[in-house]
Amino acid sequence: MLWQVRALLSDRPGAMAALASRCGERGANILALDVHPAADGEVVDELVIHTPESWTAPDVEQLCTDAGVFASAVTECSAHALEDQPVRYLRAAQCVVREPERLEDLLCRMLDAEPAVAGSAAVLVLDDEAGPPVALGREHAFTATETARAAELRLVAAAVLAGPGADQVAGAPAHGVGQLRRGTVVDIRPLVEMHDRCSADTLSRRYHSPMRRLSPRMARAMLLPAHGFSFVLPDEDGDGVVAMGMVAFQDDEVEAALLVEDRWQRRGHGADLLRALAAEAKAMGAEELTLIARRDDTAVLATVHRAGFRAHVRCVDGVNRLRVPLGRVSSARKQADRKPADRPVRRRMTEPLVALLHQRKELREVYAPADIIDQAVRDGV
């Protein structure tokens, strides 16, 4: 008999060994294992176990309990369950390329879930602008690994739905943009209109609180700060603005802030803006810029890197303060001008992983969150 077992274990050395040795003692053979790190000192192991024919699901559950497993879900399965996970997900990616509109069905099959309903015990919801909406439900919680896999397949669907030649983001605009230039009073109305087009999430990441409509007065203060300057990225026609960045010289620091309209994000404009702000601020005597980002926001640090800089990151009062030294603007430019293929490979994190990374040091070598960079900078790497 083959059984698919989902076991919640203590995340400590030897916990899995105890289960394996209990299986061995009872004549059960572990044929596949997929480990999903979880928060709070626990780990979810998905196993495929082969047992003698006479075994029932309660027998397998008992074996797990005897081995110290906190909770287990056991279902009888076929040899299909032995398929290698990477191969399974590569096949799934091919299905998404063929039929992107069936993404949710496919994820239900991959993750043993149903479309989410009001009573679903656990839900996985992906509904930002990155791709088609997904809402899955099932009995047991979705792990960060599963969420990351679903999010990646969703990006494949978004890219296919956006059509040939389109960027990764669904709904990518067809026309282009103008040249970055200093912000002036003529940009007040376009900036207010750009705010109106930004999503609540983008505005909350910029202002760290819900943002009502930008008044012309505030727009003016942002475009022409008393001690600072701004840059705007006009649209192709020059009538509208699609991104803006500002620098404000304060008593003890020089603060920079960026805002790129949703449908223009992830096209390099944020990094271009930051480089322009940095070069101008440096020419005015600044030695470093400070950017303030929500604790769960990985995009700002990625933008700093893409612009060719490094950041010292500190979490203060629940927000990340990124201090960006401006010592090497010219080499930053060199770095930024490298072809994308030359850039060091860094993985993009899906949101649940961010929280997990703060608890799981070993994963930080794979994904690059704020704290590692912080540590690397402290260590002088």
Ligand X SMILES: CC(C)(COP(=O)(O)OP(=O)(O)OC[C@H]1O[C@@H](n2cnc3c(N)ncnc32)[C@H](O)[C@@H]1OP(=O)(O)O)[C@@H](O)C(=O)NCCC(=O)NCCS
Stretch that binds ligand X, among 114-122, 230-238, 265-273, 327-335 (CB under 6 A): 265-273
* CB-based burial, 9-33: b 16+ in 10 Å, e otherwise: bebeeebbeebbebbeebebebebe
CB of 379 to ligand X, least distance (A): 22
Task: Tell me how many residues contact ligand X (CB under 6 A).
Answer: 26
Q: Residue 148 region, left (φ>0) first, then alpha (ψ -120 to 50), else beta?
A: alpha
Nearer to ligand X, 57 or 302 (CB): 302
Query: What is the DSSP secondary structure assignment for residue 101, as one 8-state letter?
Result: G
Measured from each CB, the residue nearest to ligand X is 270
Q: Using the rule CB under 6 A, is 300 a contact of ligand X? A: yes
Beta strands in 38-186 (DSSP E): 42-50, 71-76, 114-115, 122-126, 134-138, 181-182
Does 373 bind ligand X (CB under 6 A)? Our answer is no
Among 37, 228, 270, 369, binds ligand X (CB under 6 A): 270
Nearer to ligand X, 60 or 300 (CB): 300
269 binds ligand X (CB under 6 A): yes
Q: Does 266 bind ligand X (CB under 6 A)?
A: yes
Does residue 194 belong to the site contacting ligand X (CB under 6 A)? no
Asked whether position 206 contacts ligand X by CB under 6 A, the answer is: yes
| Chain centroid, CA 55 distance in Å | 42
x-or-dash string of contact with ligand X, 312-351, rule CB under 6 A: ----------------------------------x-x---
Distance CA 244, CA 142 (A): 37
> What is the CB neighbour count within 10 angstroms for residue 363?
16
CA end-to-end span of the chain, whole Å? Answer: 52
Check if the beta carbon of residue 44 is closer than 8 Å to that of residue 69. no
User: Which chain residues interact with ligand X by CB under 6 A?
Assistant: 202, 205-206, 257-260, 265-271, 291-293, 297-300, 302-303, 306, 346, 348
